[in-house]
Amino acid sequence: MSTPLTDISILRQRARQHLDSGAITEGYTADRETVLRLLNESLATELVCYLRYKRHYHMASGLKASVAAAEFLEHAQQELEHSDKLAERITQLGGEPDFNPATLTARSHAEYVAGNSLKEMVTENLVAERIAIDSYREIIAYLGNDDPTTRRIFEDILAQEEEHADDMSDILDDL
């Protein structure tokens, strides 16, 4: 049985209440503070991944480095785009995106591992992508239907993180 729709006059009346809440209406059923925490942790994860990929892009050397470096650069740019999407959603929910570099790695799900060789760099990126994949899947399941907008953002990011992991796995196979 489907959920009954609210009468339009009630929707109009509700929309005029609590205008200071912006996009957060009475129908928002997620725990906003938890969602903001998860978004900020994910923001930290994406920023740490961006920084790691950028380092690896600049440090990649050796015969097979050009293919890996090109992937590192592309992934870095995409991680930065992910961080912007997460920061935008945080502000939509009335929160503040936490870009504090002093606490970035502590809040990140993934670690920042410099890696000394090309193989170590690719391996560390693959590990980080696998961490992001599992944590984002859990966040998506947690959000369910309580916050479909945030869930869709994570679903889109997850799809790209899976591509990143596949890319890193392919490169690792060739090393």
Q: Is 46 annotated as a binding residue?
A: yes
Distance CA 42, CA 34 (A): 12
Q: What is the pLDDT of residues 126-138, one digit of tens each?
A: 999 999 999 999 9
What is the pTM for the complete model shown? 0.88
Q: Is 161 annotated as a binding residue?
A: yes
Q: Is 41 annotated as a binding residue?
A: no
According to the model, what pLDDT value does residue 7 have?
75
Q: What is the pLDDT of residues 80-96, one digit of tens each?
A: 999 999 999 999 999 99
CA 86 to chain centroid, in Å, comes to 6
Residue 107 predicted with pLDDT over 70: yes
Name the CA dihedral angle for 116, 122, 124, 130, rounded to a multiple of 10 degrees.
Answer: 180
According to the model, what pLDDT value does residue 25 have?
63
**Domains along the sequence of the chain with CATH:** 29-174 (1.20.1260.10)
